[in-house]
Structure 1
Amino acid sequence: MTAVSEPRALSDSAARQLANATKTPAQMDSITPRWLVHLLQWVPVEAGIYRLNRVKNTDETVNVACPGRDESELPQSFVDYDENAREYFLNSVATVLDVHTRVSDLYSSPYDQIAEQLRLTIEAIKERQEGELINNPDYGLLTQCAPNQRIRSRTGAPTPDDLDDLLVKVWKEPSFFLAHPRAIAAFGRECTRRGTPPPTISMFGSQFITWRGLPLVPSDKVPIAADNTTSILLMRVGERRQGVVGLYQPGLTGEQSPGLSVRFMGITRDAIASYLISLYCSLAILTESALGVLDGVAVDKYHAYDDKYAKK
């Protein structure tokens, strides 16, 4: 009996040796939208110093009356300035990127290795920048909020009543809430439980839930404490509104974007090319009423949460 031979053809694994794979650039899961950086007004700072001038209590110096037609009754007054104006100094977020010249020479097709290394390192620096804007001990939003602008959640879980209390603190042209995604989810659940699901709006091509017309902007840089509590912030932004502004240094050598520079530092005898990547920034709260913070906001313990910004 004659054996039937199997049909022979080129296998997939062999064929793939001659095929070009479509390659993606390196994907980095830690990259976030960084909405806070996008929504702030950024003010250029000369010589790295920003002096915040404020007036003293106007109730003590400015006397206003309605004298009718007798102008001799006009009171005398003036606006006094605070003689101890606070000065903000730009802080740097920086690192040195090292790339072996052999790597950049031999392995830069289809993607330039130096460009990719710079892109990913800059993304990491910008992520740290947003974390500093929220948590920095000298200028961060959570650390610099005035004590009289902080309140605590009524029941723990974030409710519409809590956010209304926050709106009382920042009632003059508020811009947006800022919260951890888990806090926003907890607020959405509370609204749904009450039968008042919050509406959504579209910004930058993304959907945001709102309360009283203001978007709840997510940021994973808002810390969650070990007891699963966090904070929700509400702010007014912009110089014209006497709100919160970001600060940056313009005109840097090797400037890639506002406040960010890349400088080539040379090649060592070991053929290592080095690049200094620096980002200079700070943040100023122009008036106390520009920022309010709701503390003691409870979020669900639905999983073990590991966050580099978590409160210890």
Structure 2
Amino acid sequence: MTETKDDNRTRDETPGLDLLKEELVRYLGARMDHTLAKAGDSLTGATGQLLDIAENGGALPKAATRILGGESPLKAIAGEKLKGLMGGLLGKTREALGGKGGGRSGTTKVTSIIESLDVGLPIRAVYDHWTEYEKFSGFTKGVRHVSQEDEITTNWKAKVGPSTRGWKATITEQVPDERVAWTSEGAKGTTHGCVSFHELTPTLTRVVLVVEYYPSGFFEKTGNLWRAQGRRLRLDFKHFQRYATLTSEEAEGWRGEIRDGEVVRTHEEAVEEEEAEAEDADEDDQVEDDAYADEDEVQDVEEEYDEEEVGQR
């Protein structure tokens, strides 16, 4: 079978291309060896790889490909080493989070927050300030906006680190002047929390806050490792203490009662009951005052009678 002219040309040019590639690799290796002489053994080792390829053949490493593309040898090798370092770091982070590839497998780490602080106010005043959720954005640093949907549901937007998070909170239990428990659902995580109020003296109240935060998503889980959410919540808790102690505004609060996520007594009903109890207490005090007044009057009459009897004698 007769070879064509194109077949002869291809066969003749192949050795020339191989020689050009070999010389190029040798030149590249020599140049890298000169450039990276002061960069340490970890960088100059790449030169040996190139020389080995020139002598024994093989594929060019990624760093060499980047150099052929126009990058400086130092930048190319440093870039590849950085990619390797970041890959190892991401792998360890995923392993620490209990999942593979940032998925949902494994055990999610939980941020648990337990804090307490004392406020120099009666327990009713502290409780009422806490239940005015829409005012939180005015005195905290993290909360950006709060809107109240109904008696048990509120929508929150807060800043955590460089980003803003939003979630919906549902109150599961609320007893006036005692405790408020809630759960929340958001794109980046869920929480279970409870705040309780304890009277130390008539003008000093202790507030205990317990929250569990369950992050969702790779970046949120990574942020959880640095406890960013916990630091934000603790700081805003102290801002509540400052606000409640120093504000001159009298809080109305929400005096209703919630059990198992349902309102069992509305705010209006609670206020009416409190007013009725106050009226009954006032009536009792009046009856007691009248009784004391009658006793004093009887005593005065008896003393007057005794004096008259003595005078007649």
TM-score (ref. length: structure 2): 0.22
Q: Taking CA–CA contacts closer than 8 Å with sequence separation of 6 or more, which of the two structures ends up with the larger relative contact order?
A: 1
Richer in strand (by share): 1
Q: Flag the structure with larger Rg.
A: 2
Richer in helix (by share): 2
TM-score (ref. length: structure 1): 0.22
